[in-house]
């Protein structure tokens, strides 16, 4: 008996330990790193844009007579190279005017290469096989931060004949990997700052408070405070030997459980419904019925008797049927979870568009504690 009791007790301890591990796993999986919840204010990308020319196209470039800016740009470029074509008739179809865009990464240094995207601006049919000429990339302040040049890589293609044409993808947009060189750096001295702000990607007061509490526990003092639902300010220690980058690296790895508002997002065009885990419903009764109207045309041919000098005519015959599938009231109990709500609505055999109408009706009745956002 004692041996059996010992084995049973051991099994019970193992089961309790396993359940504890499962619960810990769920808790850990629900927690997220601060690095995934917030950005450091000031550490951001900057958008660049430029106007240039793509040459080397196989007759798929802009029509110079229809696109005046391409013709003017071609003339200006050739004049800078010592070629004067003023007043001459240009018939080339191998040049296209394009817009070049790129993102300047934070702390990008001179000489570092970045990717660029090239998009046709005129009536070019394809940029396949083209080469982008030297194109300065400007920032929002009008300064040149990078220079782009190189051969384009096109994902789509176009082929056509006299009576048919086929297009796959978008042949008028290309990409140049490492196609631009950074020429100007943006001055941002992170290691010299005495205060740093964390900008939450999804603003929430509870999440901001939890981030500040986790940072204070890690630092051992009240160095972090939430300023609003989207900002947490960290007052860095005044020691000269403190490495701010190393400190922020440790702070980014801290884990907290973010809190989100109860929200239902609806896309009426595609019928997509996304509901948060905290959505709750008060007691409500739901009924849904479908009205089906069927119209069937069965025309008949009326054939006259022989030698009656009559005409053969088509006599219309229409059958109209009406059927209504009325379902019984389904009661959704108060405080049900998201899974119970979904199971209850699915039990009614509803389509996504019917679910959208029912959720909006429940919200209008004041029985659902969540915000509904229609995209």
- Which pLDDT tens digit goes with each residue over 57-80? 988 899 988 899 999 999 999 989
On average, the pLDDT of the chain sits at 80
Q: What is the mean pLDDT of the segment spanning 347-359?
A: 74
- Which pLDDT tens digit goes with each residue over 116-169? 999 999 999 899 999 999 999 999 999 999 999 999 998 876 777 766 777 777
Q: Does 373 score more than 70 pLDDT?
A: yes
Contact 247, 334 (CB under 8 A): no
Return the number of other C-beta atoms located less than 10 Å from residue 183's C-beta.
14
Report how far Cα 219 is from the mean position of its chain's Cα atoms: 35
Contact 57, 94 (CB under 8 A): yes
Contact 327, 348 (CB under 8 A): yes
Most confident among 46-50, 90-94, 276-280 (mean pLDDT): 46-50
Q: Does 102 score more than 80 pLDDT?
A: yes
pLDDT at 193 (0 to 100): 82
Phi, psi of 140 (to 5 degrees): -65, -20
- Distance, CA of 359 to CA of 351 (rounded, Å): 12
- Which pLDDT tens digit goes with each residue over 193-249? 888 999 999 888 999 999 999 999 998 888 999 999 999 999 987 665 668 888 889
What's the pTM?
0.66
Q: What is the mean pLDDT of the segment spanning 285-289?
A: 65
Q: Does 21 score more than 80 pLDDT?
A: no
Return the number of other C-beta atoms located less than 10 Å from residue 229's C-beta.
14
Domain layout of the chain by residue ranges: 34-40+194-256, 46-182, 263-303+310-374
Contact 233, 224 (CB under 8 A): yes
């Amino acid at each position: 008996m004692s041996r059996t009791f010992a084995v049973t007790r051991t099994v019970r301890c193992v089961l309790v330990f396993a359940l504890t591990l499962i619960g810990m796993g769920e808790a850990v999986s629900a927690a997220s790193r601060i690095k995934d919840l917030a950005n450091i204010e000031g550490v951001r990308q900057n958008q660049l844009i430029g106007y240039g020319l793509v040459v080397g196209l196989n007759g798929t470039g802009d029509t110079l007579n229809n696109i005046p800016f391409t013709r003017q740009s071609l003339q200006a470029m050739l004049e800078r190279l010592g070629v004067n074509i003023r007043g001459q008739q240009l018939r080339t179809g191998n040049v296209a005017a394009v817009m070049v865009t790129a993102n300047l990464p934070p702390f990008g240094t001179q000489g570092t290469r970045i990717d660029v995207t090239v998009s046709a601006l005129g009536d070019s049919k394809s940029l396949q096989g083209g080469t982008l000429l030297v194109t300065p990339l400007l920032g929002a302040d009008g300064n040149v931060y990078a220079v782009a040049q190189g051969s384009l890589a096109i994902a789509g293609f176009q082929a056509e004949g006299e009576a048919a044409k086929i297009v796959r993808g978008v042949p008028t947009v290309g990409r140049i990997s490492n196609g631009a060189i950074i020429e100007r750096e943006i001055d941002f001295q992170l290691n010299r700052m005495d205060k740093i702000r964390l900008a939450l990607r999804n603003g929430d007061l509870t999440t901001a408070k939890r981030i500040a509490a986790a940072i204070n526990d890690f630092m051992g003092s009240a160095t972090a405070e939430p300023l609003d639902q989207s900002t947490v300010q960290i007052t860095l220690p005044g020691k000269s030997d403190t490495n701010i980058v190393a400190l922020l690296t440790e702070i980014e790895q801290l884990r907290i459980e973010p809190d989100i508002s109860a929200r239902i997002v609806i896309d009426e065009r595609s019928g997509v419904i996304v509901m948060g885990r905290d959505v709750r419903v008060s007691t409500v009764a739901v009924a849904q019925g479908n009205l089906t109207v069927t119209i069937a045309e069965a025309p008949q041919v009326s054939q006259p008797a022989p030698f009656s000098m009559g005409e053969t005519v088509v006599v219309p015959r229409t059958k109209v049927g009406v059927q209504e599938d009325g379902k019984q009231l389904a009661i959704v109990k108060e405080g049900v979870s998201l899974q119970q709500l979904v199971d209850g609505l699915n039990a009614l055999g509803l389509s996504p568009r019917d679910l959208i109408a029912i959720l909006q009706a429940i919200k209008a009745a004041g029985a659902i504690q969540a915000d509904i956002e229609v995209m």
